[in-house]
Amino acid sequence: MTELTTRQRYDFKRDLEEISSLRGQHTELISLYVPASKQISDVTNYLRSEASQASNIKSTQTRKNVQAAIESLLSRLRYHRQAPENGLVLFVGSVVTGNNQQEMRAYVFEPPQPITTFLYRCDSTFHIDLLKEMLAEKDVYGLLLIDRRECTVGILRGKKVDLVFYDTSQVPGKHGRGGQSQRRMERRTEIAAEEWYKKMGERASEVFRNTPGLVGILVGGPGPSKRYFAEGKFLHYELEPKVVDLFDTGYTDESGLKELVGQASGALQHLGLVKEKKLVQRFLREVQKAQSGVATYGEGQVRYALNAGAVETLLLSEGLRRYRVQIGCSQCDYLAGDRTLKAADVDNRLDEKCPRCGSRLVVKSKKDVVDELSELAEGSKATVELVSQDSEEGETLLKAFGGIAAILRYPLEIPTKLDA
């Protein structure tokens, strides 16, 4: 499985967003999921039989469109002897465009995670649910359940829980005999319990320290033992700050792991957002400073700071729906320079004429502004942070600051009137 970088994740998300917005006039958009295990020749045969069945479609237009889409799929599959490791996903079909025209579109993906089942679907929309699931964040958490009798350790990846080990203790139960022997017994019990916690702490620490990408640890159990364990420094000191919280569960065996994750879900959701909340809060503190604040916002200002190499962290809202476009003449080689347009405006006709030949100006090329600014930032080794709209701070970044902001390396004099 390939781990997506933040940027790849963003690009993938945007592609899926675009694809999911497309509509066919009728059921004529084809989604094809090919797992690596499937022979391409089998897929080709399958498509040929679909094509012959399509000849029964009554509407001439729909029939033609479906057959054209299948032809297009067949010709694309010709490039592959075999599906790649994670399989192949193709979306092909005639989509309705702005002016009620139809246009043939084709998208081919090698998904970031393996596809397991073959799927052929002809519908009025493309089927992207399977790909969407692959976008879910895959944070890794350590799970630990403990009391005096049992200890279970597991790992949570995304929504998947894996058991790592289960162990039971030799700590004697508490049963009274009275007198001297009772106290001796109690003392022995306490020593045994201490050793049990120590041993489990070491085993769990070894597991957690060797789990790449571990962001937190959830500790659970039915009684007070979990608190005693968590506060008793039984985990390696590097792991202590990673303990998210303690949670009550009814069980300390494998069945308790799912229970633990359920109990912690609220805390986990909150945790995922903590990093971006903190970033935006830091930006806001800088912006509010009357003097020598190291922050700026607005596309023109941020571009200026990026070009000066003064940006430490570039904050971009995932809710930005803008393109950096190059405008030029439709007839001659006149270029009118770059502009930033709202996604909705990119396909609109421009009401401008070429100053050289009087022909219409058009959009020559476009690039998602998040990608374009990220590349600019990478040039000066600035960190790029994509901020979701899932927190109040994320909303503020988009609504109050236009979704483009920067924390600077040093205070910088930036002209207030700047065009993007």
Q: Which is nearer to Zn ion, 309 or 355 (CB)?
A: 355
Residue 380 to residue 307: CA distance in whole angstroms: 8
Between 36 and 362, name the residue whose CB sits nearer to Zn ion. 362
Look at residues 213, 211, 234, 219 and name the one whose alpha carbon lies nearest to residue 162: 211
Smaller CB separation from Zn ion, 44 or 359: 359
Q: Tokens 């990608």 map to which residue?
A: 371
Q: Which residues pair with 211 in a beta bridge?
A: none
Residue 335 touching Zn ion (CB under 5 A) = no
Q: Does 360 engage in binding with Zn ion (CB under 5 A)?
A: no
Mapping DSSP to helix (H, G, I), strand (E, B) and coil, where does residue 246 land?
strand
* Residue owning tokens 């008793």: 232
Distance CA 238, CA 242 (A): 8
Nearer to Zn ion, 356 or 381 (CB): 356
Interaction between residue 183 and Zn ion (CB under 5 A) = no
Question: Applying CB under 5 A, which part among 92-100, 147-155, 352-360, 386-394 lies near Zn ion?
Answer: 352-360
Select from 374, 394, 369, 368 the least CA-distant residue to 15. 368
Task: Specify the stretch interacting with Zn ion by CB under 5 A; choose among 196-204, 284-292, 299-307, 323-331.
Answer: 323-331
Query: Which DSSP letter does residue 253 get?
Result: S
Minimum CB separation of residue 361 from Zn ion in Å reads: 8
Residue 118 vs 334, nearer CB to Zn ion: 334
Q: Which stretch binds Zn ion (CB under 5 A): 6-14, 36-44, 76-84, 328-336?
A: 328-336
Tell me, by CB under 5 A, how many residues bind Zn ion: 8
Q: Does 356 bind Zn ion (CB under 5 A)?
A: yes
Rounded CA gap, 292 and 304, in Å? 17
**If binding is defined by CB under 5 A, does position 334 make contact with Zn ion?**
yes
Rounded to an integer, what distance in angstroms lies between the CA atom of residue 207 and that of residue 400?
44
Residue 46 makes contact with Zn ion by CB under 5 A: no
> Quick check: 357 binds Zn ion (CB under 5 A)?
yes
Residue partners of 102: CB distance under 8 A and separation at least 6 = 25, 65, 94, 95, 96
Is residue 33 a contact partner of residue 89, using CB atoms and an 8 Å limit?
Answer: yes
285 is an interface residue for Zn ion by CB under 5 A: no
CA 159/CA 152 separation, integer angstroms: 18
- 329 belongs to the binding site for Zn ion (CB under 5 A): yes
Quick check: 354 binds Zn ion (CB under 5 A)?
A: yes
Q: Min. distance of Cβ 334 from Zn ion in angstroms?
A: 4
Which lies closer to Zn ion via its Cβ, residue 132 or residue 364? 364
Between CA 289 and CA 227 the distance in angstroms is 42
By beta-carbon proximity to Zn ion, the closer residue of 326 and 396 is 326
| Least gap, CB of 360 to Zn ion (angstroms) | 9
332 contacts Zn ion (rule: CB under 5 A): yes
Strands 24-34 and 361-368: unpaired
Question: Nearer Cβ to Zn ion, position 335 or 346?
Answer: 335
| Residue 105 beta carbon to Zn ion: minimum distance, rounded to whole angstroms | 30
The 8-class DSSP code of residue 236 comes to -
Residue whose CB is less far from Zn ion, 295 or 361: 361
**Residue 267 found at the interface with Zn ion (CB under 5 A):** no
In the complex, the smallest distance separating the C-beta of residue 327 from Zn ion, rounded to whole angstroms, is: 11
As a whole number of angstroms, the distance between CA 142 and CA 70 comes to: 47
- Kindly indicate which of the ranges 119-127, 149-157, 277-285, 356-364 contains the residues binding Zn ion, using the contact rule CB under 5 A: 356-364
DSSP-assigned letters across all residues of 289-357:
-SSS--EEESHHHHHHHHHTT-EEEEEEETT--EEEEEEEESSSS-EEEEEEEEGGGTTSPP--B-TTT
- Interaction site with Zn ion (CB under 5 A): 329, 331-332, 334, 354, 356-357, 359
